[in-house]
Amino acid sequence: MHGISRKTPSREEQDASALKASELRDLQSQFLHLHHNKIYTKEALETSAKLLEVNPEHYTGWNYRKLAVQYFLNHQSETEVDSEYIQSVLNEELKVVENALKKNFKSYGAWYHRKWVLNKGHSSTDKEMRLLGKFQKLDSRNFHAWNYRRFITMLKKISDEDELQYTTDMIYDNFSNYSAWHNRSVLLSHLFEKRGKGHCHKESVLEEEFEFVRNALFTDPDDQSGWFYHLWLLDQTVKLEPFLLSSWPPHGSSLYLSVDDYLDGRNLFPSVHFQSKDRMFPLVLYFSEAVECVNSSTVTVERQYYANDDVIWRPLSSNKFGFAQAWLTYLNFPDEAHYLKDCPVKIVVAQFPGIVSSSGISCSKTSHIEFSLCVPSHDRGHSEGQTMPRISWKDEKFYPHAPQSQDASLLNSLHQLKITEEGKSKASDWSMKTIANEIAHCRELLSSTNCKIGKLTLARLLMAQNKLISYGIPNDGIEVHYEEILGLYHDLMKLDPTHICYYEDEYSLVLLKQVTSSMESLLKYCHHHGDSTSPSMDSCFCLRLNDLSLSRIGSVERLLWIQMLDLSHNKIRSIEGLEALQLLSCLNLSNNKFCSFAALDPLRMLKSLKVLDISYNEIGAHTVDTRRYLCSSPMTHAVENDWNFKEFTNAGVVVTNHWDAFYIFRDLNLIQLDITGNTIVNDRLKLFLFKLLPSLKWLDGENRN
């Protein structure tokens, strides 16, 4: 029960508990004998009832009673049906459940068994409502009772409007009732679904709900129940129809596809150079939220030298439900495409219905992307005999990007989001006004109290407002408040150090939003690597986000064009999101907080990656690392695989110690890898990596030869 603190038991209480445990073991042994022998006599049922009254969490006991009830009902079907007998059997089950709930009001098995009995019929739902009233007087916030109430109201066909009034009464009685607030959100979700896309009705209801919860927030700002409901209202306010946010290549761009890095001294401006030996080009679509059903039916691709096979899209996400913000396919250009011949490509997204967000909203706004490719002949003459020099990440190898340089306008075009007037939601103006109103009220509240959840809510409101502004929604001159949001999260780290990891993640996302919010701010972190006059890979464009105290990756929708990225000297533990950067060829993750190779799982999807630095992390330093088990082990049958470890075993490598490294690196074509400074590194691991990666030329600065 809420509000009852635990105390250390006395010696007498410990002895009494030990005696009860002994009696319970004896009772359980008797019950299991009856269960295994399928004995359903009256005495057997009394034994199970006694066991469940003492231990309501005994799931096998509840399952035994289900089998017994089904046995009696099946026996009735073989003879004449006695409705009174069936009623007595079911009533006895309800009585057993009631006694169990008196022992433990929060027993999952007991509540589930009661639902199972009610589904058999022959029971009074009116009686259940009266019983619920008694239970909710004992604990008005018990979520089991509220969940059961939703079940009973569905059986009784009580309207959502009537139940909404009931939650109002319960909140007025105690506005700290988390379960009542939650039930209110469930009921309103049902009402919104029933009334379809009637924006006006939803807007008016949400306005009333904001005002309703505001009374609770101003009454006791430190009570979190109302704030959680306020967060749900905010989510409903900014829930817009999904649309295409950005793409690679971006609309209107011109690209040069080569089989190697040899450019024959050509000045490609204003084109972007991309190297692919197999003449396959990645095409990425990035949506405003996770969606499914991106396929050849919902996205059409038109290009010269078009192959007859369908374009196959796949989600760049580990979401098992198939939803992802980023979707990938490859365009394959055959040998017939002649040198520097312009290849126009046209893509139409959502021309036909089918793309749906994870929240169930369809994408109805059609987006058009057009770009051109210069494709050379399939001549590898220049690439033969060429060796790639080792990439150095030392500061002296980088020099700042000049804001007025020739390619500044090119970078600006790559940085822009794909947002058109047609892509904006009709409800956007209302969303912007509603959030601005809530920001004003939140500021008013925080002017009189130093409430940490109030600060967190203000930060979330400001980020929601900035999100709508970045989507191009009219804002009446409202300024973006990145510095204020960063300050709020900085304060929260001091006020609430228990949740510092969460605040650091949110701080990182806001900082990256600020960095990528404009080309002017992004250029501060853009550098050239090596000699800019050289046509080799050692002279390229790099985004340096090092030493920013980042713990999480974000804003990748504006970085799809990045080929060289420096994220060193941060606090990153996961690189989720980087899988969208399909052009990424050089990546520096040194001096971060990675605890295992499994934390690098998104790397498996970066087929262009050639250079990787993961030195000086914490790989192998922790005895227990739960992230190591996020990827499938070859020692299980979770996924089918063709993993062959024989050659590694013959070399004396214990593969079971490095299966996560095998899983991450096996499909990559790395040329350079740095892993020094990690606890797990030894000579056997290096030998393992050399065998696993035949393309590897440099390992920890040492040449393979």
Give the tens place of pLDDT for each residue, 31-54: 999 999 999 999 999 999 999 999
Pairing of β 367-375 and β 314-315 = unpaired
Contact 579, 558 (CB under 8 A): no
pLDDT at residue 418 greater than cutoff 70: no
**Would you call 151 exposed, middle or buried from its count of C-beta atoms within 10 A (0-12, 13-18, 19+)?**
middle
**Of residues 602, 673, 607, 674, the one with CA closest to residue 274:** 607
Q: How many angstroms separate the CA atoms of 361 and 7, rounded?
A: 50
Q: How far is residue 371's CA from residue 413's CA, in Å, rounded to a whole number?
A: 12
d(CA 310, CA 114): 52
For residues 11 and 510, what is the distance between their CA atoms, to the nearest angstrom?
Answer: 54
Q: Place 605 in a pLDDT band, splitting at 50, 70 and 90.
A: very high
Please say if the pLDDT value at position 532 is more than 80: no
Model pLDDT, residue 583: 92
The answer to whether 518 and 411 have CB atoms below 8 angstroms apart is no
* pLDDT (mean) for 150-162: 92
Per-residue model confidence (pLDDT) at position 317: 78
Higher pLDDT, 411 or 605: 605
Across 594-603, average pLDDT? 91
Q: How far apart are CA 628 and CA 659, in angstroms?
A: 10
The CB density around residue 314, as the number of other CB atoms within 10 Å, is: 14
pLDDT at 380 over 70: no
Residue 176: CB atoms within 10 Å: 17
Of the candidate ranges 229-233, 417-421, 558-562, 653-657, the one whose mean pLDDT is the lowest: 417-421
What is the distance, to the nearest Å, from the Cα of residue 564 to the centroid of all Cα atoms in its chain? 25
| Average of per-residue pLDDT across 129-157 | 89
Q: What's the confidence (pLDDT) of residue 390?
A: 86
pLDDT tens per residue, range 77-103: 555 667 788 888 899 999 999 999 988
